[in-house]
Structure 1
Amino acid sequence: MRPMTFAPALGWIAGGAIAALMLAFAVAVVVVHVRRRRSSDETLTACIRRVIMFLLAAVMMLTPSIVTTTTSRAINATDVMVAVDVTGSMAVKDAEYGSSGTISRLDAAKRIVKGITSTYADSSFAALRFGASGTLDVPLTPDSIAIDGWADTLAVESTSTSAGSSLDTPLDQLMLSLKSIRDQHPDDIIVLYVITDGEQTSDTARRSYSALRRYLDDSFTIGVGSDAGGKIPMASDGTATGQQSDGQWVTDPTTGKPGISKLDEATLESIADEMGGSYLHVDASHTIEQAVSAKASRQWRLTQTVKRRERTIPVIWPFAVALGLLLAWEIGAWIAMSRRML
């Protein structure tokens, strides 16, 4: 048997107050009947009927409900793909996000990802990181907590594995992932966010992002870092977190001095244009809230999830039927009494 509970539709404060008032009326009916039973023509049956009516009203105010479990979930028909740069230059501490405090570019990217999941509530998300290669870490899921957790684990790749920054590294994986999403949900709105400093150090010419247009409804390139730039810390080998080595910097082979990594806004604007999207540089006064897609879907669809959820289903109708019958009885009794008094 399914468990029962109370889930007041008006909330516990308002619903509880009205229920308490109904109980007070029920008590008042009994008190009045006892005090006036010798001088009144009210029958015991009428008293009991009125008490039950008030009790039913009190129960209805508390909204009796059945508790059920389900794996279904209604989600917004917007699918958001997030691609984050984890090359060594993302460790440079010259980024700002919502305040004048300076943080690393990757830390800014983490905050951006969490801003995206909170902005697109009840949507689906997929997460990809790219450095020496592009990797789809989290396939499309409505679990925004999983995406936030993924963001917390992001770290710059080890210096020894880096082969120079190439902004087209995620293209192939993005193409496959976006095509898969479009095939699975052809009516969904797909939005892509590429979060990077825009730095390209590879000698190979960058491929165009225009090939992604066919799968996208909207897109954004988000720039992190500054025009002044900063020195790139070495990332230790053999650590899963990409731990930085204090006081050691990546050197520029042409000068033998610590290299300076700078935000390349021109490249990021070009990528945004190729995708038919927009570019935003996040800083102290600009956050991801300024890069929210106006094309986000207003449609919803049901999906199945692994997590089981409890939901309450109001069961008011039996009480409403009983109350209606008692009201009809009360009205009939009043009409009969009125006719006898004529």
Structure 2
Amino acid sequence: MTWTLSPALGWPVGCAIAIIMLVCAIGGIVIRVRTRGATDQSVSACVRRTLICLLVALAALTPSTVSSTTSKAVNATDIVIAIDTTSSMAVNDATYGSSETISRLAAAKHAVHDLTDAYPAASFSAVRFGASASLDVPLTPDTLAIDNWADSLNVESTTASSGSSLDTPLDKLLLTLKDIRQHHADDTIVLVLISDGEQTATTTRRTYSSLRRYVTDALVVGAGSTAGGNIPADGLVDSANETWVTDPATGQPGVSKLSPDTLNTIADELSGKAIMLDATHTVTNSLPAASKQWRTSITAKTRQRVTPVVWPIAIALCVLLAWELGAWIGLSRRLL
């Protein structure tokens, strides 16, 4: 454990108060020395008032202890993010908070960063899904890990895809959400599903209503446009070498379109809400409320905890001020 100064009012205000009090303390001593024979101020009064000024200055700078800890107070909000990484998410027809056109996956990444910014004290879990689903990040309060995960996402190869199926993450989400609910029964659990809503698999999509018992709220986020765009064969948009996934039925480049109806249906199954990302709509416009409860979590990252220690100063100030008040009352009675 080490000691440091950590002004509770901030360094500018704390330093200003400390300097003023220090000037007052020095000024009191100078005045006492210069007017030694022309004042009725006693030495004890001068010492007392000097100590009061010095203690106020010290309190403004807030002496604190610094200790290492792996515990962290986290908000009782658990956000499970599921992102579609099928090849259609590489289509360059999305916008996010501006008119700049970006890929659907890039819009999803922006959404994740906004989520971690909006819930800095929450816990997050991350799932990606394409031909299969995987839990990439178990529940953690480390928002940096979630941001890094989002930045590392890439769409799956078109050779690995056998048609988009929006129910691919259902089983993984069911296990993840059930486990979170069992371990944190009173937490607010929010499911955020980000996709273009495209369902090209021949099988009938299963309903998301089975997840409803485990979530407090749900947000279904649509990335892309209803006008659609061509799907890059390599998963990247390269204006110098544009190769597109072809539609077997026509032999022409296939067009992938955002499906708001499908996403709205999934939101209804989850008893949540849906939002389609565009130049004016981002996830920050529709975020569910965070929990008002907090709990302590143990993390692998060591943190420095700063604990103010001002109570000894407060006790000493109370004693000196009581002494000053008593001396002032005694002097007032003598002057009457």
Q: Deviations over 1:100-147 (max 9, x none)?
A: 111111111111111111122311111111001001101111111111
Match of 1:274 in 2: 269
Q: Find out whether 1:290 has 2:288 as its counterpart.
A: no
Match of 2:51 in 1: 52
**Counterpart code for 1:327:** L
Deviation at 1:45, TM superposition (A): 3.4
Match of 1:256 in 2: 251
Deviation at 1:20, TM superposition (A): 1.3
Deviation at 1:219, TM superposition (A): 0.8
Q: Deviations over 1:132-181 (max 9, x none)?
A: 10011011111111111111011010111111111111111011101011
Match of 1:27 in 2: 26
Instruction: Determine the C-alpha separation between the residues in 2 that align with 1:335 and 1:199.
Output: 83
- What is the TM-score when the length of structure 1 is the normalising length? 0.92
Instruction: Determine the C-alpha separation between the residues in 2 that align with 1:92 and 1:335.
Output: 82
Alpha-carbon contact 2:98-2:280 (below 8 Å) kept:
yes
Mark the runs of 5 or more structure 1 residues left unpaired by the alignment: 236-241
Alpha carbons of structure 1 residues 334 and 222: separation in structure 2 relative to 1, 3 Å: closer
Instruction: Determine the C-alpha separation between the residues in 1 that align with 2:275 and 2:198.
Output: 15
Matched residue of 2:243: which SS? strand
Alpha carbons of structure 1 residues 287 and 338: separation in structure 2 relative to 1, 3 Å: closer
Alpha-carbon contact 2:94-2:225 (below 8 Å) kept:
yes
Structure 2 counterpart of 1:317, from 286, 311, 317: 311
Deviation at 1:314, TM superposition (A): 1.6
Instruction: Determine the C-alpha separation between the residues in 2 that align with 1:327 and 1:199.
Output: 73
Structure 2 counterparts to residues 170-319 of structure 1, below 5 A: 170-235=169-234, 246-294=241-289, 296-319=290-313
Match of 1:330 in 2: 324
Instruction: Determine the C-alpha separation between the residues in 2 that align with 1:288 and 1:84.
Output: 14
Matched residue of 2:242: which SS? strand
Alpha-carbon contact 1:124-1:142 (below 8 Å) kept:
yes
Alpha-carbon contact 1:234-1:244 (below 8 Å) kept:
no
Alpha carbons of structure 1 residues 333 and 263: separation in structure 2 relative to 1, 3 Å: closer
Instruction: Determine the C-alpha separation between the residues in 1 that align with 2:97 and 2:125.
Output: 25
Instruction: Determine the C-alpha separation between the residues in 2 that align with 1:286 and 1:339.
Output: 73
Alpha-carbon contact 2:77-2:188 (below 8 Å) kept:
yes
Deviation at 1:333, TM superposition (A): 4.0
Deviation at 1:185, TM superposition (A): 0.4
Percent identity over the alignment is 57
**Counterpart code for 1:264:** S
Matched residue of 1:211: which SS? helix
Q: Deviations over 1:59-117 (max 9, x none)?
A: 12211111122221111111111111111111111111111111111111111111111
Matched residue of 1:249: which SS? coil
Q: RMSD of aligned C-alpha atoms?
A: 1.8
Matched residue of 1:195: which SS? strand
Alpha carbons of structure 1 residues 180 and 36: separation in structure 2 relative to 1, 3 Å: same
Q: Deviations over 1:19-77 (max 9, x none)?
A: 21111111121111111112233333332232222212211221111112222111111
Mark the runs of 5 or more structure 2 residues left unpaired by the alignment: none
Deviation at 1:340, TM superposition (A): 5.6
Deviation at 1:243, TM superposition (A): 5.1
Match of 2:112 in 1: 113
Alpha carbons of structure 1 residues 243 and 92: separation in structure 2 relative to 1, 3 Å: closer
Instruction: Determine the C-alpha separation between the residues in 1 that align with 2:212 and 2:62.
Output: 50
